[in-house]
Amino acid sequence: SPLAFIVAAVFMVIVGDLFALIAYHTRQANFGSWFSNMAVVLLLVIPALTMRLIAEERRSGTIELLMTSPIQDRDLVLGKFLAAALYLFFLLALTIVCPLILAMNTKLEWATLGSSYLGAFLLGCSFMAVGIFASSLTANVIVAAMTTFAISLVLWLLPSAGQMFGGTAADVMQYLSIMQHQENMGKGVLDSSDLVFYVSFITAWLFMAIRSVETYHWR
């Protein structure tokens, strides 16, 4: 829909402006700061992208058609997720023009850049998995967006909460923070534990979304 291109244009303006400001003030390709700021943009944008995925089906009544069609609930949820993930990939692919401009005048660490993009994509997919679950809980798209943002923000701030407890609790909350793993990948550190975390995180939230959709059959 035209809205998809409007969102893409706004996303590019914000991310491009952040890139220009960081490059101007640091006088170097500071991708760590750029991707950290991009993560904030994703935190704000993705709830708006996922809020209608299932909630709109319930609001408009088309969920009944989906529930009686010859597809499994798993296929419904995974189809919604893959469509959203493909659009996220499209958004991130647009931003590659920023480092390519720098590559004309300076030497870039392409391995670090690739790891950073992978981290941003997995972080965005994690937000989307939460968003699909939130969208499956309600027919109100605004409630779905606010729930997605609230859960994502709590998961983002877990390390800060962990510092209040210290010890093992702090280590656990540090590991459960979705931002911590993205920051590691933003430094060019491609650790299997970060990949396992994101895959497990996304799988868990999609599993809960599937179970939530299954409850529609009981109503």
The pLDDT assigned to 61 comes to 81
Per-residue pLDDT reduced to its tens digit, 11-28: 999 998 988 888 777 666
pLDDT at 27: 65
Q: Which is more confidently placed, 33 or 92?
A: 92
The three-state (H, E, C) secondary structure of the chain, written as one string: CHHHHHHHHHHHHHHHHHHHHHHHHHCCCCHHHHHHHHHHHHHHHHHHHHCCCCHHHHHHCCHHHHHHCCCCHHHHHHHHHHHHHHHHHHHHHHCCHHHHHHHCCCCCCHHHHHHHHHHHHHHHHHHHHHHHHHHHHCCCHHHHHHHHHHHHHHHHCHHHHHHHHCHHHHHHHHHHCHHHHHHHHHCCCCCHHHHHHHHHHHHHHHHHHHHHHHHHHHC
Q: Which of 76-80, 160-164, 213-217 has the highest mean pLDDT?
A: 76-80
Query: pLDDT per residue over 84-141, tens digit each?
Result: 999 999 999 999 988 888 778 777 788 888 888 999 999 999 999 999 999 999 889 9
**What confidence score (pLDDT) does residue 23 get?**
77
pTM: 0.88
